[in-house]
Structure 1
Amino acid sequence: MTVFRTRSGVVRGRRTAGDPGVLVLRGIPYAAPPFGVGRFRAPRPAATWDGVRDCVAFGPVAPQSAQLPGAPSWSPGDEDVLSLNIWTPGTGGEELPVLVWIHGGAFVFGSSAQPDFDGTALAGEGLVVVTLNYRLGFEGFGHVPPGSDGDSCPDNRGLLDQIAALEWVRDNIAAFGGAADNVTVAGQSAGATAVACLMAMDRARGLFRRAVAHSAVNACATPESAARTTREVAAAAGVPATYEGLVSATPGALVDASDAVADRYRCDPASGQRHYDPAVHGPIAGGDTLPLDPLTAAAGPGAADVDLLVCHTTEEYWLLDAVGSSAKITTEEQLNAFAADFGLTPALLDAYRELMPGAPVIDVFLAVYGDMLFGEYSSRLAETHARAGGRTFLSRFARRRGGSGERVWAWHCADIPFAFGNLDEESVHFLVGGPPGGFDHDLSKRMTRAWADFAATGDPGWPAVGGSTGAVRIWDTAAGEDADGAHDAFRAGWRAAGLPLLAP
């Protein structure tokens, strides 16, 4: 097995089963365990080691309550959670383009060990692929007041972990055949929002040249809403909302307390915006680490320094309904209350009703909410970046699957197994509607190639966005991928009504 020398020590991986030309190394620590004296603090350098470290297993996942198909779950006592994984077709000195992947999961669950994030196919296209774990939930995104000694804990520790991983890539990726000056950072859902945040953070400047954001979510906390969440989580955990109180609670206790807070909102229709999908943790915009929310920052002069590729699915929120994480809005009264909670105009709802004749109320709700959270937000992120002078590309994933079984929509997360080239992985069959067909594999090859080309050259294969409108690539198994598609009709209502920026 080939060995690689990093600044912390020598590591060794193994050939992948899917492609013997690709080497994979799993569980390389990029920072020290963020517990004990490092809890609620910025990431610290990883310890060095002697000898050769066999990197054949994924590292522990961050504290969370989720149990995802095919992926490991968190166990109390798992502390070395800041690790990364590398798939490379190189052995050193090749200067291949690098793609760094940030997983999603509402900032409270997920890991780099999910089977749909296997980097073998992308590495086979000539990339060095890096995936990483970072702190989630309260550990990564909860606001922690200063301690009695006046020492403060930074907000957005999960984002600081991602920056530490990117710094590790800068310092070490050449040993694996990667080009440290040709890095693309990519993510989906919460991971895409993290990517957009990194574009807005001075600490991340210069660590990547390009960015890929699939289904970025319209949700950054304000300092005020983050402080409120801290009080609620502390109360649910039975500790004071102080540094001393919070650090006395175990990571598991804060996971349970955060879940309890979310469940309370989910069960209370009168609780406002959080009732509909209570994601209680996320990036905090308005402080030292993240001064501006990503959409506002995308209009700034520094945004143009990074090429941006944006994608969203055309029916994002149908997945959240299918897995039971969203409120069931089935009556006009409930739909009107939802609109009032978010300050949406009656004209916007009317526009959706007109475009969806005969659709049940739940479908109108899912369409509006999905566009507010993901679709319209992602499109505006791309257009704002382009207007600021950035080189920007926009695409939409519209592939559906029908047949004799249950219909699968072009919903949240369905695009990622296609882009990673992992359609045959059994754990993704729910997302894509069962085993893939030939047209699906063809679509996957086109999407994987687009990512690889964008990471290598900044050109995914279709025209860039120009001003407020521009070319949009439609990803589908059918013909017509260069057309703008029917989804643009839904955007007219948002242009008239405006898009609320949400604060979880």
Structure 2
Amino acid sequence: MRVFTTKAGAVAGRPSERDPGITALRGIPYAAPPFGADRFRAPRPAAPWDGVRTCAAYGPIAPQSAQLPGAPAWSPGDEDVLSLNVWTPGDSGDALPVLVWVHGGAYVFGSSAQPDFDGTVLAGRGLVVVTLNYRLGFEGFGHVPSAGADGVCPDNRGLLDQIAALEWVRDNIAAFGGDADRVTVAGQSSGATSVACLMAMDGARGLFRRAIVHSAVNACASLDSAARTTAEVAAEAGVSATYAGLVSTSPKALVDASDRVAEACRRDPGSGRRHYDPAIYGPVAGGHTLPLDPLTACAAGAARAVDLMVCHTVEEYWLLDAVGSCAKIATEEQLALFASDFQLPEPLVEAYRGLAPEASVHDIFLALYGDLLFGEYSSRLAEAHVRAGGRTRLARFVRRQDGCGRPVRAWHCADIPFAFGTLDDDYVHFLIGGPPGAADHELAARMTRAWADFAASGDPGWPQLTPAGGPVRIWDTSTEAAGGRWDAFREPWRTAGLPLLAP
């Protein structure tokens, strides 16, 4: 057992189960429990402790209803949910690059304890790896009216938690052998959009040098849409949409009410955009904590000093279909309603038909929706950063697998076990199509090396984008994979434009 000294007290870690040369510390509090008098407030520093705190187990996860394979479930009464984990190959006095991971989960589920986020392999590449929990759902992203002049409840509390974790890294990571001047913050899906928001937030300025964004989701709430969601959730919970009403309601009651609001949208084709994938929370753009959505902010140059690496999978939405979390679109009438709900012009839909003439109506829907929510948005984020003067790399994950009796596409989340090097964990086999082969391990080695090199120097191994375009790294089990055919699916969007979506 190794002991490290943080500003709040000493912590003890143990050798990682995957590699005894890496020390793992789990469940280190980076902020105080955000409940009681601190509920709906900005995070406060964690209380110091005496003696040595043994950090062998992940901390409690944020309130949620999801129960993910291999990860702990939330239990009502768990309050010390703002914790982080560290994997380090170093000692105090080293100056290793640091990678901080923000998990995804539609802003309502997930945690740093998911098996595919184990930091051992990346730490073995010479990084200090930090993963963290943050407030989710209404606790983290619900709009709460002011509690009065001395009790403002900020929007985007989940993002403020992430900033608090980055501040902890700034103040403490040297004790673990990390270099606070070489911090890369990374995330996937809602975690990726969180990272993009951090790039745009004054409160996060100077806390990281580089950012890795995988499959950023096109979803930021406006002040008005966030207030409407609060009204819906409060009504479902049977309380007033006021601070007094909301704070009197238990976290579980708000989780349950949020689930009921989302499920009602899922069942109602007339509920508009929420019907197709009822994610009702997202960062609230337009207020004090986040004045602009991240795409607009990056285009304005708000983050030009941050090196950016963007990746997306090319068949994002097929995962959401496989797990039953999106609408089934089987008829031309349903597809036309989808296009109308999202204000997608008819030529865009017809262009996708031309590019995939054998595809079913449902597959056309999945391709369009995946690009609208993830692929095109991620690519535009990279391009906006370049045009504003930022240094950017762009990649696409195209690896597919025929396994487990069915084809596994290059879908949402499939790239992350490769980037973390956690392919052998049974819990990720659904994502990647069964046990990995030699070519999969070789792809994982290339991806983990790219992440480590980018965190260390800003160069993952391929040239930067330019305002006129540039090379896109294709991640596949063949190093000679032809991923260029996916460029064709971008062309129709250049004419159609990209609607920015609100939950």
TM-score, structure 1 as length reference: 0.99
C-alpha deviation, 1:147, in angstroms: 2.1
C-alpha deviation, 1:218, in angstroms: 0.2
Which residue pairs with 1:189 in the alignment? 189
Which residue pairs with 1:493 in the alignment? 492
C-alpha deviation, 1:61, in angstroms: 0.1
Q: Are the counterparts in 2 of residues 2 and 91 from structure 1 also a CA contact under 8 Å?
A: no
**Rounded Cα–Cα distance in structure 1 between residues aligned with 2:41 and 2:151:** 10
**Rounded Cα–Cα distance in structure 2 between residues aligned with 1:247 and 1:348:** 45
Letter in 2 for 1:326: C
1:101-500 equivalences under 5 Å are: 101-147=101-147, 151-402=151-402, 405-480=405-480, 485-500=484-499
1:19-58 equivalences under 5 Å are: 19-58=19-58
**Rounded Cα–Cα distance in structure 2 between residues aligned with 1:178 and 1:370:** 37
C-alpha deviation, 1:480, in angstroms: 2.1
C-alpha deviation, 1:300, in angstroms: 2.1
C-alpha RMSD of the superposition: 0.9
C-alpha deviation, 1:190, in angstroms: 0.4
Report the secondary structure of 2:7's partner residue.
coil
Report the secondary structure of 2:406's partner residue.
coil
Letter in 1 for 2:37: V
Report the secondary structure of 2:25's partner residue.
strand
**Rounded Cα–Cα distance in structure 2 between residues aligned with 1:150 and 1:451:** 43
Identity of aligned residues (%): 74
Report the secondary structure of 2:269's partner residue.
coil
143-152 vs 263-272, greater mean Cα deviation: 143-152
C-alpha deviation, 1:479, in angstroms: 3.3
C-alpha deviation, 1:139, in angstroms: 0.1
Letter in 1 for 2:491: A
Report the secondary structure of 1:212's partner residue.
strand
Letter in 1 for 2:65: S
Which residue pairs with 1:69 in the alignment? 69
C-alpha deviation, 1:146, in angstroms: 1.2
Report the secondary structure of 2:302's partner residue.
helix
Report the secondary structure of 1:98's partner residue.
strand
Report the secondary structure of 2:183's partner residue.
strand
C-alpha deviation, 1:299, in angstroms: 1.2
**Rounded Cα–Cα distance in structure 1 between residues aligned with 2:263 and 2:443:** 38
List runs of 5+ in structure 2 lacking aligned partners. none
Deviations 1:90-137 (A, max 9, x none): 021110000000000000000000000000000000000000000000
Deviations 1:296-326 (A, max 9, x none): 0011233211000000000000000000000
C-alpha deviation, 1:484, in angstroms: 5.2
Tell me the matched-pair count: 503
Report the secondary structure of 2:377's partner residue.
helix
C-alpha deviation, 1:20, in angstroms: 1.4
Q: Are the counterparts in 1 of residues 404 and 434 from structure 2 also a CA contact under 8 Å?
A: no
C-alpha deviation, 1:151, in angstroms: 2.9
Q: Are the counterparts in 2 of residues 233 and 258 from structure 1 also a CA contact under 8 Å?
A: yes
C-alpha deviation, 1:469, in angstroms: 1.5
C-alpha deviation, 1:354, in angstroms: 0.2
Letter in 2 for 1:219: A
Deviations 1:40-64 (A, max 9, x none): 0000010000000000000000000
List runs of 5+ in structure 1 lacking aligned partners. none
C-alpha deviation, 1:470, in angstroms: 1.3
Letter in 2 for 1:166: L
C-alpha deviation, 1:358, in angstroms: 1.7
**Rounded Cα–Cα distance in structure 1 between residues aligned with 2:341 and 2:403:** 38
**Rounded Cα–Cα distance in structure 1 between residues aligned with 2:447 and 2:301:** 30
